[in-house]
Amino acid sequence: MSSSSGSNLDKIAIRNILSIRYNPLEKPFIKPAKWQDYTNEVHNNTRDKLQELLVKSTLDKLSDQKTIAISLSGGIDSTLCLGLIRHVFPEKKVIGICGVFAGGFDESIVAKRVADKFNADFHIVHMESVFTHMPEIITITKKPKWNTYIHLIAKHAKKFTNTLVTGDGSDELFGGYTFRYRKFLNLLNKNDSWKIRTINYLECHNRDWVPDQERMFGPSIKFDWETIYNYFKPFFQNKLHPLKQVMIADFNGKLLYDFIPMGRAIAAYYNIRSFPIFLDPNIISFASRLPIEQKYDQKSQKGKLILREIAENLGVKHMDEKRGFSPSLFTDWKEHGREVCIKYLLDEKSNIYQKKLININWVRRAFHTVDDDGDIRYLNRLISILALEIWYRVIITKEIKSNSKL
């Protein structure tokens, strides 16, 4: 599938997306991180220097905007972004938009408190099933994507403004994936090779792949783990702190090849300007040089330490840990998704089988694994395979319209 038109099947891209959720062979929109970027550490006055950079990024990006919308969850990232906006622009109209899923964790109560504190209007967008809008997000991104909801936030924001602020990049730059750091460090041995560290890193992302991954593909897609491992070699074959290696891999992974391209595609589709404040080049450069101790505390297992300091300096004394815009996939599966997957994935005439991309026998077994064992990994894979089939019907054969609901 080409990164430009989405009209060509690229079997390597399909293999990569169904193995690590993104294709690292695409051309990224921003410069990839190198391990050398993380070596020349800064230690003095880091909080004040970073706050200055964040203020400048906010000022530069938003000065000419009359009304500003922000994707607001009540977590550290969006709270800090809203605090920065209010610090720089006390009088501008700001709209905080929070997504709420039926059956998922409701962040709107916390987000409303944050909006009230910073004198922002507050809107809730009620999210439907992840299956419902799949043709729409595939039309927007031209890729077999399903696990994003920011397009619904952007669609709502467009009613009021041409500007949407997001906290993209904060987790990767400032140490937000604390649950993965803890697991990675527990698996770590001092003399592990780069390959062992890569395997452990992927184990910390075990929702993105399944143990019998090689059996999932049909005969037209060649899969081997060695090829996948080699994508990560530059990130783990160096002498950096193990968590810095993880952060480079995170930056050069889903952020670079999944979140940023999707964000840009969504912004272009709705003709809205997306401003990820943390992805200013000067902030990226500064963040890469911060010592681990200013990002993650291994004892308390808290992350984004320096961002917490800046938020407190802006008057935010307490921030709940962000849980993310997370639907209950199993509830979705039982109420709607299983029926949709049966329709498209158990039909031998489906494109993914006619093109020999996917092994239908594996899919049949995966249904049983999800139903009998409740294994989230296999549910994620089934939904990703469904997205591939829907992508084919939306982009290639055009038998499904972009505004169709599954």
What is the full per-residue pLDDT of the chain (406 aa) written as tens digits?
444 444 555 899 999 999 999 999 999 999 999 999 999 888 899 999 999 999 999 999 999 999 999 999 888 999 999 999 999 999 999 999 999 887 666 889 999 999 999 999 999 998 888 898 899 999 999 999 998 789 999 999 999 999 999 999 999 999 999 999 999 999 999 899 999 999 999 999 988 889 999 999 999 999 999 999 999 999 999 999 999 999 999 999 999 999 999 999 999 999 999 999 999 999 999 999 999 999 999 999 999 999 999 999 988 765 655 454 456 888 889 988 999 999 999 999 999 999 999 999 999 999 999 999 999 999 999 999 999 999 999 999 999 999 898 8
- Total domains present in the chain: 1
Q: How far apart are CA 243 and CA 224, in angstroms?
A: 26
- The whole-number pLDDT of residue 106 equals 80
> Could you tell me the pTM of the whole model?
0.93
Question: How far is it, in rounded angstroms, from Cα 139 to Cα 133?
Answer: 10
Whether residue 374 is contained in a domain is answered as no
Q: Is residue 334 part of a domain?
A: no
Q: Would you say residue 383 lies in a domain?
A: no
CB 164 within 8 A of CB 70: yes
8 A C-beta contact, residue 207 and residue 376: yes
Q: Does 377 fall in a domain?
A: no
The reply to whether 336 falls in a domain is: no
DSSP per position, 164-224 = EEE-TTHHHHHT--HHHHHHHHHH--TT--HHHHHHHHHHTTTTS--TTHHHHB-TTS---
Tell whether 332 is covered by a domain. Answer: no
**Cα(25)–Cα(31) distance, integer angstroms:** 14
Reference 120, options 56, 60, 61, 74; nearest CA is 74
Whole-number pLDDT of residue 327: 60
Q: Which domain holds residue 115?
A: 12-325
DSSP annotation string for 68-101: EEEE--SSHHHHHHHHHHHHH-TTSEEEEEEEEE
> 279 lies in a domain?
yes
Contacts of 259 (CB under 8 A, 6+ apart): 168, 169
**Residue 144, both tokens:** 């077999």
Name the DSSP class of 254: I
Q: State the CATH number of the domain containing residue 146.
A: 3.40.50.620
Q: Is residue 227 domain-resident? A: yes
Cα-Cα-Cα-Cα dihedral sign, residues 298, 324, 21, 347: positive
b/e map 302-319, b = 16+ CB within 10 Å: ebbbbbbbbbeebebeeb
- Residue given tokens 């089934």 in the structure block: 382
Quick one: pLDDT at residue 141? Answer: 94
